Amino acid sequence: MTAVSKTTVKDYLKAAAYYLLAIAAAFGVAGLILLTMHQDVLLGYKTILTTSFSSLPNFALTIFKFTPIYLMGLGFSIPLASRKFNVGIEGQFLLGAVGAAAVGITLTGMPGYIILPLLLTVALIMGAIWASVPALLLYFFRVNEIISTILMNFISFYLVDLIALGPWRDVTAGHPMTIQISSSARLPIIGSQINIGSLFTIALAVLGFFILYRSTFGYELRASGSNPIAAFKFGIKTSFLAPLSLVLGGAVAGLAGGLEVSGLYFRLVEGMQSNYANLAIIVSLMARGNPVALLLTSFFFSMIEIGANAMQRTMGTPYEIALITESLMMLFVMTVDAIRQKRR
């Protein structure tokens, strides 16, 4: 028994070392790019790795980024369990934001304990509805979800533009955005810096883990992802579960949008989705869809984001370098996996 556990510990350490190597390789490529741009590479690394911890506001900022990235990552992870790629988290996030803004703007004079849950529920439902279009297309017509969810993203961009320039438009702003939501619809702040929305991530990580890895529902979902034909022949309704997982993922992404409106922007702003969706996809893949591991990868990437923003401010390094590094990181991690598998 002890022999077995010893080898597994050794295996884990070995795997960890390989992954660190992959991450280092991605940073190495980033360094090369910085070199060609005549930038101070070492200062770049230092900025990326330490900015988040350099001050409390910076740490709070990291958490602000972490929340939507984590939740959208979870929105990608749930369908991933059934091998469906929910690339539409971006649109689902935006629709959640639209729903939250609508509730927050129209319902005034209500106490926070009524309006806040309502706002978040509406955000959740809006995200789910947006995801249910590709889900229905998958269920009835077997339309590939990658393409359909992406198309829904583009539709959502124009929808947000329409609303941000519509009757709720903030005419004083130079950028398309709505007026602010009522003050009771805003999330409270704890400790003067940290937004309460981030607590949702911990709760959902635990919940998500138990649902995916301990419940019969999660079992059936993972079975459909592992081998849909076998799952189907043993009575699992795969053709229903996969679309359902998309809807659930959409709901979580929608919640992320609601939290952004209620906790950060206090309104609907065009472009508020930033590039969270791309990051969320990478962190989810890197966490292998595991909601707990996702906490780690999301935080790591939020850190890189804050660092990259700081680099843009202080060193004039274009932010895109972060995006390149992050996608390479995941490609290298998978390379490590592929090579290790071949060796075996």
Residues that bind another protein in the complex, under the rule CB under 8 A: 4, 33, 37, 85, 87, 133, 137, 141-144, 146-148, 150-152, 154-155, 158-159, 161-162, 210, 214-217, 219-220, 222-223, 225-227, 229-235, 278, 281-282, 285, 318, 320-324, 326-328, 330-331, 334-335, 337-339, 344
Residue 189 is inside which H or E element, if any? Answer: strand 189-190
Contact at 8 Å (CB) between 41 and 34? yes
| Residue with smaller CB distance to another protein, 34 or 119 | 34
How many CB atoms are closer than 10 A to CB 121? 17
CB of 113 to another protein, least distance (A): 30
CB of 229 to another protein, least distance (A): 5
Helix pair 320-343, 291-315: axis angle to 10 deg: 140
Give φ, ψ of 295 to 5 degrees.
Answer: -55, -45
| Residue with smaller CB distance to another protein, 143 or 196 | 143
CB of 215 to another protein, least distance (A): 5
What is residue 115's three-state secondary structure?
helix
| Residue with smaller CB distance to another protein, 137 or 306 | 137
Give φ, ψ of 165 to 5 degrees.
Answer: -105, 10
CB of 160 to another protein, least distance (A): 9
Report the Cα–Cα distance between both ends of the chain, in Å, rounded. Answer: 23
What is residue 283's three-state secondary structure?
helix
Residue 189, strand partner residues: 195
CB of 196 to another protein, least distance (A): 29
CB of 121 to another protein, least distance (A): 23
| Residue with smaller CB distance to another protein, 227 or 314 | 227
How many CB atoms are closer than 10 A to CB 94? 31
Residue 269, strand partner residues: 177
CB of 162 to another protein, least distance (A): 4
| Residue with smaller CB distance to another protein, 71 or 281 | 281
| Residue with smaller CB distance to another protein, 287 or 328 | 328
Residue 190 is inside which H or E element, if any? Answer: strand 189-190
| Residue with smaller CB distance to another protein, 160 or 264 | 160
Longest dimension (CA), the chain: 70
User: How many whole angstroms separate alpha carbon 20 and alpha carbon 255?
Assistant: 32
CB of 158 to another protein, least distance (A): 4
Contact at 8 Å (CB) between 223 and 230? yes
β-pairing, 189-190 vs 194-195, is antiparallel
| Residue with smaller CB distance to another protein, 202 or 230 | 230
CB of 335 to another protein, least distance (A): 6
Contact at 8 Å (CB) between 302 and 65? yes
| Residue with smaller CB distance to another protein, 60 or 211 | 211
Enter the DSSP assignment of 263: I
